Chain A
Amino acid sequence: LFIMYMAGNTISIFPAMMVCMMGWRPLQALMSLSATLKAMESSSRRALQGLVFLVGKGLGLALALYKCQAMGLLPTRPSDWLAFVTPPQRMEFTGGGLIL
């Protein structure tokens, strides 16, 4: 986390890689949720432990998203969608000019 803070909000290859890792690790963990749960089968408070695990990983994911947002990698502004704005349809046709 400290390293993430130190990396700053500029976009270059190392911070980007770090952010990717940061987002990917919780995702990976969530994917393997069932395996983790199987490992905890012996425990009595299985549900609680599972929930805490979920919340923790969720927090990690949210942190990664926040970092993305701070770096400006998330397409949240209208300017990010500008290239997909279609030109408005023309309702009237006009023509003419100087009298020949």
Chain B
Amino acid sequence: RQQYVGKLKFASLEASQGSKKLVVATEENVVAALNSRSGEILWRHVDKGTPEGAIDAMLIHGQDAITVSNAGRILRSWETNIGGLNWETSLDTGSFQGAALVGLPEAVKYVAVLKKAALSLHYLSNGHQKWVEHLPESESTQYQLLYSHGTGVIHVVGIVPQSHLNVLTFNVEDGEITKQVRVAAPWLGALQGSCAVVGEAVLVCVDAAARSLHVCALGTEQDMRHIPLQSLELEFADDFQARILATQPSVTSASRTQFFLQLSPSHFSLLQYKQGLLSHLRDFQQAALVSFATTGEKTVAAVLTCRSELKPGSSDGLHAGSTLEDARRQDSLTCSNQTYNINLYLVETGQRLLDTTITFNLEQGGARPQQLYIQVFLKKDDSVGYRALVQTEDHMLMFLQQPGKVVWSREESLAEVVSLEMVDLPLTGAQAELEGEFGKKADGLLGMFLKRLSSQLILLQAWTAHLWKMFYDARKPRSQIKNEINIDNLARDEFNLQKMMVMVTASGKLFGIESSSGTILWKQYLRNVKPGSSFKLMVQRTTAHFPHPPQCTLLVKDKETKMSFLYVFNPIFGKRSQVAPPVLKRPILQTLLLPIMDQDYAKVLLLIDDEYKVTPFPATKNVLRQLEEIAHTIYFYLVDAEQGKLSGFRLKKDLSTEEIWEVAIPTEVQRIVTVKGKRSNEHVHSQGRVMGDRSVLYKSLNPNLLAVVTESTDTHHERTFIGIYLMDGVTGRIIHSSVQKKAKGPVHMVHSENWVVYQYWNTKARRNEFTVLELYEGTEQYNATAFSSLDRPILPQVLQQSYIFPSAISAMEATITERGITSRHLLIGLPSGAILSLPKALLDPRRPEIPTEQSREENLIPYSPDVQIHAERFINYNQTISRMRGIYTAPSGLESTCLVVAYGLDIFQTRVYPSKQFDVLKDDYDYVLISSVLFGLVFATMITKRLAQVKLLNRAWR
């Protein structure tokens, strides 16, 4: 199991050298503390995954972390050392605007929460409300800014866009509005970003259009002073909303008078506004990120710059060499060699602090840094030391230390796995050599013989090396032996239990993870993937076809532009494949992986675009010829959930398609939520079931069967329903349809062999229920040799039963094994984080209500409506998986064993044995006893034989 927290939203590092933790709040609605030495999670609290759990703000004061979540509804205080909840209060409704700590000159006592129409003040110690005040004119004014600096008043700034600002001043003690000022600001559209408070309550706003700053002392001045920026020779980038970044080291004292003005995505400048005078301290071009940090009396600004390749040989010069035009040419922020510098500058003067450069490298083709947090501390000799936390675009966290050492890094994008495949590891070199020998063309008897001899020699060599290594390892103490797995010694084990997990995450980063240890062996970031894209991962060639490398194909489709592209890579090493994928000019609707292969043993992938044209990949002549031959047997189905339409297509010889059927499901009444076919790698060993009277009930194993689930649009608990349709994907024939009244989603469904299991919420009885459907052909098979959907005169018999389940579920999947002999189990992910392994025999629609002789003969369990959760059926014991989103199962080389990966916020991998380990000797198998008995018997036979001979001889003599 590996635990993750997700993409950072807020982070806070403690400003002392000895501190060990950093508190983070993430977009996955997690509040956690990380160990800053190792990067491990110290504690973690997972809120709901829905927007209800979203964290709006996090404030740190001493040992307490204050979070505001659920759109400003809930205020919580956490103890950061152990992660306990200090207190929790619920706030009034109203959209959340901001939160701030409020301090009196001596101590920080309160936290203020700004809502759309009210401002409330809470005690830090217990969360009780001190006062709540309504804000005047809250309909027209958007109050967005909250500021206090230990003078006993709180300033609230509201804005009426393009008109004026409303500045309110509250007394901390009783919440009385002491002053209300209206400041005209017709040029201002929004407060966030373009305005900030510097110095002693001075509001600074930037107006990019007029290239000027506007300054106003809060609560005292009636109008804004206008300061043009042309005098400072600052260039504004076109069509970029300039931003102001300021810092307030402590809530009991005033803000710093210095602030950053962001002029373009990569151009910052440090300005100072003091006593009515604006001065320019330093200019930072080519800077990716800036950040302030304070320790004691010193406040520093950290600037993350790209070490550009345009100026080689510069160790410290960073922004002097290349000009802004150059930066623009290289797509403004992309750094050519992925090397970045962090430098510290003293804010008062803008001077660079000596020996504060951190240089670090991101992987090639990696992502840009996105967020920067700095932890500054004073060293013993009063110089400034610091550590930096950098989050990149691909949600990787890096913790850096001087001079450029990466202390740890975390791959937080693994908290959002969207697609997952398991690929067999390659054979070892020796095995591959042997395999390769058979793959090559024959070249004479002698040549073959020599080749065989050489490969046997290599095998012998490998074996002796292995023996030597074992001998060597045995002499070392046990603790030192570590089975370090890296990309070079990756090899398939005897039973193919270790596999490579290829994971696609929502941020567009691909991972290759070794399944038994969970080590990340490779990672690859796809730059041009926008958030919210849909992915489809397919294995085109497995590792079985040595010497051809395995090949995976990822289809990425952008949600907005609808355009898609293919990314072809080697799933073992993560390298981009040499094969050039076809350029897709039109949006791709669906894909289909055919079982036919080209001459390089890559399965053929068909891509259907929005004109219903088909593009094959790989598109060699051989493939096209094969396709032409079998085109009449290839069918597509497309499901359009928005229009409620299912349509089937047939492939024609010229790779165009023809619509052959269409099923409309009226969207006014119900909408399609899931469509599930069968897994293509599924084997069914038994074609039927033996009944009590020894006749056979044949299963209806239609490989083209689809299960479609619809939910009603009406969500009233009396009228809501879900519908199940079993359809043939070739002919569009509805084999079975049923409507479950008074039932509600979310529906989880598993479709396998001849059965469908789905789970829903029964609104009448207020409980979760399972329904299982099984399809049988009856006691006669219609056509035992070939299955054709076009020739099925008899509809299958559908058996159905429902069961009560005591818990909601978050994911469901069935186990799968190599040959399908092992009995099936359902793996059910519960919201509590446990995975329940439920035998399919418990969900069997043939369970009789009254057990008879025959059903007993068949080993059917008598029907009982409730399925119980036994804690001993949890396959993950106490290793709970927070917010499980899916379970993936893969067969292993052993028939009894199925590999399971559960993913969500955490990733968990294990093996399950649905029918126990029937093909493996038990651990306590007594090898010594059995072999000694065997040898003893052989020995005894030999002795008695000898004795008998002697006796015969003696008798003959007599």
- A interface residue numbers (CB < 8 A to B): 72, 77-80, 82-83, 85, 87-100
B694 at the interface (CB under 8 A from A): yes
Q: A100, B555: Cβ atoms under 8 Å?
A: yes
Within the complex, what minimum Cβ distance (angstroms) separates B608 from chain A? 8
B690 at the interface (CB under 8 A from A): yes
Please, which residue of chain A has its CB at the minimum distance from the CB of B788?
A91
Complex Cα spacing A72 to B639, Å: 51
Q: Which residues of B contact A79 (CB under 8 A)?
A: 688, 690-691, 694-696
Complex Cα spacing A83 to B703, Å: 20
B658 at the interface (CB under 8 A from A): no
Most chain B beta-carbon neighbours within 10 Å: one of A82, A83, A85, A91: A91
Q: Which residues of B contact A97 (CB under 8 A)?
A: 590, 637-639, 675, 677
Q: A93, B696: Cβ atoms under 8 Å?
A: no
- Selected from B594, B694, B701, B789, the residue in CB contact (under 8 A) with A77 is B694
B633 at the interface (CB under 8 A from A): yes
B340 at the interface (CB under 8 A from A): no
B259 at the interface (CB under 8 A from A): no
Chain B interface residue count, Cβ-Cβ cutoff 8 angstroms = 53
Q: A92, B688: Cβ atoms under 8 Å?
A: no
Within the complex, what minimum Cβ distance (angstroms) separates B419 from chain A? 12
- Return the CB mask of B876-893 against A: 1 if under 8 Å, else 0: 000000000000000000
Q: B555, A99: Cβ atoms under 8 Å?
A: no
Q: B557, A93: Cβ atoms under 8 Å?
A: no
Complex Cα spacing A72 to B557, Å: 60
B786 at the interface (CB under 8 A from A): yes
Q: B787, A88: Cβ atoms under 8 Å?
A: yes
B640 at the interface (CB under 8 A from A): yes
Q: B637, A94: Cβ atoms under 8 Å?
A: yes
A95 with B690: in contact, given A87-B701, A90-B787 (CB under 8 Å)?
no
- Selected from B591, B687, B729, B786, the residue in CB contact (under 8 A) with A94 is B729
Within the complex, what minimum Cβ distance (angstroms) separates B323 from chain A? 43
Q: A92, B590: Cβ atoms under 8 Å?
A: no
Within the complex, what minimum Cβ distance (angstroms) separates A58 from chain B? 28
Q: Which residues of B contact A87 (CB under 8 A)?
A: 683-684, 687, 701
Q: A78, B695: Cβ atoms under 8 Å?
A: yes
Within the complex, what minimum Cβ distance (angstroms) separates B136 from chain A? 51
Q: Which residues of A contact B761 (CB under 8 A)?
A: none
Q: A93, B588: Cβ atoms under 8 Å?
A: no
A77 with B786: in contact, given A87-B684, A94-B637, A96-B638 (CB under 8 Å)?
no
B784 at the interface (CB under 8 A from A): yes
- Return the CB mask of B757-789 against A: 1 if under 8 Å, else 0: 000000000000000000000000001111111
- Return the CB mask of B719-731 against A: 1 if under 8 Å, else 0: 0000000000110
Main DSSP-derived SS at the A contact region: mixed
- Return the CB mask of B662-674 against A: 1 if under 8 Å, else 0: 0000000000101
Q: B701, A96: Cβ atoms under 8 Å?
A: no
A94 with B730: in contact, given A77-B694, A77-B695, A99-B590 (CB under 8 Å)?
yes
Complex Cα spacing A38 to B22, Å: 103
Within the complex, what minimum Cβ distance (angstroms) separates B894 from chain A? 20
Most chain A beta-carbon neighbours within 10 Å: one of B555, B588, B704: B704
Q: B687, A93: Cβ atoms under 8 Å?
A: no
Complex Cα spacing A47 to B856, Å: 54
Q: Which residues of A contact B755 (CB under 8 A)?
A: none
B427 at the interface (CB under 8 A from A): no
Please, which residue of chain B has its CB at the minimum distance from the CB of A83?
B686
Within the complex, what minimum Cβ distance (angstroms) separates A57 from chain B? 31
Q: Which residues of B contact A96 (CB under 8 A)?
A: 590, 592, 608, 636-639, 729
B593 at the interface (CB under 8 A from A): yes
B212 at the interface (CB under 8 A from A): no
Q: Which residues of B contact A99 (CB under 8 A)?
A: 589-590, 638-641
Within the complex, what minimum Cβ distance (angstroms) separates A83 from chain B? 7
A91 with B787: in contact, given A79-B691, A85-B688, A100-B590 (CB under 8 Å)?
yes
Complex Cα spacing A91 to B534, Å: 31
Q: Which residues of A contact B640 (CB under 8 A)?
A: 99
Q: Which residues of A contact B788 (CB under 8 A)?
A: 91-92
B368 at the interface (CB under 8 A from A): no
Q: Which residues of B contact A93 (CB under 8 A)?
A: 592, 594-595, 630, 633-635
Q: Which residues of A contact B579 (CB under 8 A)?
A: none
Q: A89, B786: Cβ atoms under 8 Å?
A: yes
Q: A92, B635: Cβ atoms under 8 Å?
A: yes
Complex Cα spacing A78 to B689, Å: 11
Within the complex, what minimum Cβ distance (angstroms) separates B750 from chain A? 16
Q: B784, A85: Cβ atoms under 8 Å?
A: yes
Q: Which residues of A contact B633 (CB under 8 A)?
A: 91-93
Complex Cα spacing A87 to B701, Å: 9
